[in-house]
Amino acid sequence: MTAVGRVRVWRSKAVAIAAFLMCGCAADGRRVIVIDGSSSLYPLTEAVSEAFAREDPAARIVVRVSGSGGGLRRFCEAEADIAAASRPMTASEMARCRAAGHRFLALPVARDGVAMVVNPANEAVECLTLAELGRIWGPDASVATWRDVRPALPAEKVRLFGPGTDSGTFRFFTRVVVGRPGASRTDYYGTEDDHLIARGVAGDRWSLGYFGSANQAAHPGRLRILAVDTGFGCVLPTPAAIRDGRYSPLSRDLYLYVRNFLLADEGVSSFMEYYVSASELLAEETGYAPLPAAEYARNRALLSAARSEVVGQSARDDDDSRALAVKTGRVPLRGPS
Amino acid sequence: MTRPTSRRDPIGAACRVAALVVLFGFLAFAAYLGFTASQVVGMDFLRGASSGAADSAGIGPALAGTLWLLLLTAVLALPIGIGTAIYLEEYAPRTRLTAVIESVAANLAGIPSVIYGIVGLALFVRALGMGPTILAGGCTLAVLALPVVIVTSRTAIRRVPAGLRLAAYGLGATRWQVVRNQILPVAGPGILAGCCAAFTRTAGAAAPLLVLGTATFMSFAPQTPAHPLTSLPTQIFSWATRSHEGFTALAAGAAIVLLLLLLVMNLVSAFVVRRLGGASP
């Protein structure tokens, strides 16, 4: 065999190996469903994904947690198929996402509260008012010790742990408590990982933290949930109080976002339908309050309408631009409606 | 060998105590991990997907991810690293450029691994559009392993007696013949030992992968490098941040599996090195 021939054989082997590695001969062509976003919705997403994978073991589901902001950004850049968000999209996010050529559905799937947590060894505090929270967390907060919050409390330094700026819980909490979304003091430990907030609070007797109420279940005995005086007396963020609105200013709907054209994929659309139906049952179990039944019926109707539209559309309309749009994950705004 | 006694050789005795502290410290650590892990490790644990319920969670996807990452690191870092080392030692003229390459490689070996994660995020995940995939993780870990492979391979090559080299050249051998027939057989065990050290470093790295973006939940084991990134160290990190006791045991179980994996890798390489006739790493 000549040297050139040997090189050719080598090259074709290398190409074959690379092709094997990239498209994967073991793969059966099923789409990997990527969910990214809010940590507040993570316990429910995890429970639903697990149940779905048990019923359909060939399903391929990946869940990442990068905060509502991070998840929505990746969703609009087509790096994630489904975004989990603990707040609705902002107007500017929506404009950017539409400009990128995406049409999408926003489906509320559960409701939770923002839980205020302290160390169990801190027995001095039981309940905080919204005004006190505003004084603690505001951008020009002067609160350094618990005595600054309320004169009867000990003069111990308040160490603060909370969500980072990509978090939907952060934007929601600052809007409710401070009055402007994103307005917060910055001298606190901020992270998109709720478990790190919980670990921080569990390790410091005089700390205070906040995150989505469902995640506190992962830390039994390490945290104490504070009641919040919302004007109706001190209320704990229990599923019952969240559902009937007593925890109201600090409870919010959690959303899933999905791009319409992905619903043409059998796997994505059955997962979305499963999520909406299962969350009605699993919400309570995973520490959330379920939404009224009518909301879930509306979600199902929205999903099936969007699905039949994109399925019909892709059957009727297969010109080059359409094919290109599907390949790049972007669907033009025009089209029959 | 005589034992140093404190009367005649106080320094030797102190060194012996230090060695015992290391030995018992390691044994206690391994016993603790092993005891905690024994509650969870089984076939279901090795195959199962991660889960919100501690008693049904497994490391299937994470283990497959780590095996993929090791394979990619080997495929990418070994040829480039060993090639660079051979070039620098045997071919390169002593110019300013080779001096720069040398000092860059030596300094890169000391940079914290998280920095490599930031480079990988900008380069592989974003600029090259790989996304947070196994492939991007493998490329990042390969870059992390590269300086160590280069530095240790060069040391091994430099230890080859100059007489061998000169004698071969004297008999009319070409450069490549010298490298293939004289240098590599003698330096091979040392190079292998160095590569093994580099792989141990990369297989346990969580920080660079966390920066790239790892899956928190994955229902399936990655089957191609185009699948989403997951690995044992990042799975251990994810479980270790939860307070629930069950997850602490899971983290310990995953840590034991990672340790065993690295131990097997090191044993295999020690065996190969011995067969090749070098000193055990």
- Using CA coordinates, name the residue in chain A closest to B216: A64
Going by pLDDT thresholds of 50, 70 and 90, the confidence category of residue B57 is confident
Asked if B225 has any chain A CB less than 8 Å from its own CB, the reply is yes
- Min Cα–Cα distance to chain B from A195, Å: 6
Asked if B218 lies within 8 A of A63 by C-beta distance, the reply is yes
- What's residue A26's pLDDT? 41
Residue A61 banded pLDDT, cuts 50, 70, 90: very high
**Cα distance between residue A132 and residue A228, in whole Å:** 10
Residue B180 has pLDDT above 80, yes or no: yes
pLDDT at A333: 40
pLDDT attached to residue A323: 46
Contacts B218 to A, Cβ<8 Å:
61-63
What pLDDT does residue B83 have? 93
Q: Which of A38, A50, A274 to mutate to test the interface with B (most CBs of B within 10 A)?
A: A50
pLDDT at A112: 93
Q: What average pLDDT does the structure give for chain B?
A: 88
Give the class (CATH, top level) of A3-111+254-327. alpha beta
Q: For the residues A230-240, what does the mean pLDDT come to? A: 88
Is the pLDDT at A238 greater than 70? The verdict is yes
pTM for the full model?
A: 0.81
B151 touches chain A (CB under 8 A): no
Question: What does pLDDT average to over chain A?
Answer: 85
Region A158-179: mean pLDDT is: 93
Query: Which residues from chain B sit within 8 angstroms of residue A47, using beta carbons?
Result: 52
ipTM of the complex: 0.78
Q: Please name every residue paired with A224 in a beta bridge, in sequence order, or none if there are none.
A: A118
Helices B60-86, B232-240: axis angle to 10 degrees equals 130
Q: What is the mean pLDDT of residues B41-66?
A: 85
**CATH class as words, domain B57-213+225-276:** mainly alpha
Which is more confidently placed, A257 or B50? A257
Bridge partners of A189? A161
More confident residue, A12 or A161: A161
For residue B52, the distance in angstroms to the closest alpha carbon of chain A comes to 7
**pLDDT of A330:** 45
Mind telling me how many Å the CA of B201 is from chain A's nearest CA? Answer: 24
pLDDT of residue A331: 44
pLDDT at A110: 95
| Residue from the list A32, A43, A196 with its beta carbon closest to the beta carbon of B52 | A43
B228 interaction partners in chain A (CB closer than 8 Å): 32, 34, 62, 64
Question: SS3 letters for chain A?
Answer: CCHHHHHHHHHHHHHHHHHHHHHCCCCCCCCEEEEEECCCCHHHHHHHHHHHHHHCCCCEEEEEECHHHHHHHHHHCCCCCEEEECCCCCHHHHHHHHHCCCCEEEEEEEEEEEEEEECCCCCCCCEEEHHHHHHHHCCCCCCCEHHHHCCCCCCCECEEEEECCCCHHHHHHHHHHCCCCCCCCCCCEEECCHHHHHHHHHCCCCEEEEEEHHHHHHCCCCCEEEEEECCCCEECCCHHHHHCCCCHHHEEEEEEEEEHHHHHCHHHHHHHHHHHHHHHHHHHHCCCECCCHHHHHHHHHHHHHHHHHHHHHHHHCCCHHHHHHHHCCCCCCCCCC
What is the domain class of A113-252 according to CATH?
alpha beta
Whether residues A198 and B224 touch (CB distance < 8 A) is answered with no
Tell me whether B106 touches chain A (CB under 8 Å).
no
Size of chain A in residues: 337
Which residue, among A77, A82, A36, A80, has the nearest Cα to A192 in the 3D structure?
A36
Q: Does the pLDDT of residue B86 top 80, yes or no? A: yes
CA distance A44 to B263: 38
Q: Residue A6 — very low, low, confident or very high, per pLDDT cuts 50/70/90? A: low
| Residue A85 and residue A172 in contact, taking contact as beta carbons nearer than 8 Å | no
Output the pLDDT for position B236.
92
A299-327: string of b/e by CB count within 10 Å (b at 16+)? bbebbeebbebbbebbeeeeeeebeebee
pLDDT given at position A109: 95
B217 has a chain A CB within 8 A of its CB: yes
Residue A61 near chain B (CB below 8 Å): yes
pLDDT tens profile A274-303: 999 999 889 988 889 999 999 999 999 999
pLDDT exceeds 60 at position A3: no
Taking residues A248-271, report their average pLDDT.
93
A192 touches chain B (CB under 8 A): no
Return the pLDDT at B53. 79
Q: Inform me whether the pLDDT recorded for A60 exceeds 90.
A: yes
Give the DSSP H or E segment for B221. Answer: none
Contact B51 A61 (CB under 8 A): no
- Put simply, the answer to whether B213 touches A66 (Cβ < 8 Å) is yes
d(CA A255, CA A250): 16
Q: What is the DSSP string of B76-131?
A: HHHHHHHHHHHIIIII--S-HHHHHHHHHHHHHTTS-HHHHHHHHIIIIIIIT---
Q: Which of A83-97, A193-207, A271-285, B24-38 has the lowest mean pLDDT?
A: B24-38
At A324 the pLDDT is 46
Query: Which residues of chain A lie closer than 8 angstroms to B219, CB-CB?
Result: 49-50, 52-53, 59-62
Tell me which residue has tokens 């025009």.
Answer: A334
3-state secondary structure of B279: coil
A255 CB burial (10 A radius; 0-12, 13-18, 19+): buried
pLDDT value of position A336: 37
Contact flag A50-B52 (C-beta cutoff 8 Å): yes
Higher pLDDT, B15 or A314: B15
Asked if B58 is an interface residue toward chain A (Cβ–Cβ < 8 A), one would say: no
Using DSSP's 3-state secondary structure scheme, residue B174 falls into: coil
Answer whether A193 sits within 8 Å of B241, measured CB to CB. Answer: yes
Q: Which residue of A has its CA nearest to B239?
A: A195
pLDDT for residue B246 is more than 70: yes
Give the separation between CA B202 and CA B116, rounded to whole angstroms.
11
Task: Locate the DSSP E strands across chain B.
Answer: 217-218
Residues of CATH 3.40.190.10 domain(s) within chain A? 3-111+254-327, 113-252
Check CB contact under 8 Å for B224 and A222: no
Pairwise CB contact (< 8 Å): A66 & B220: no
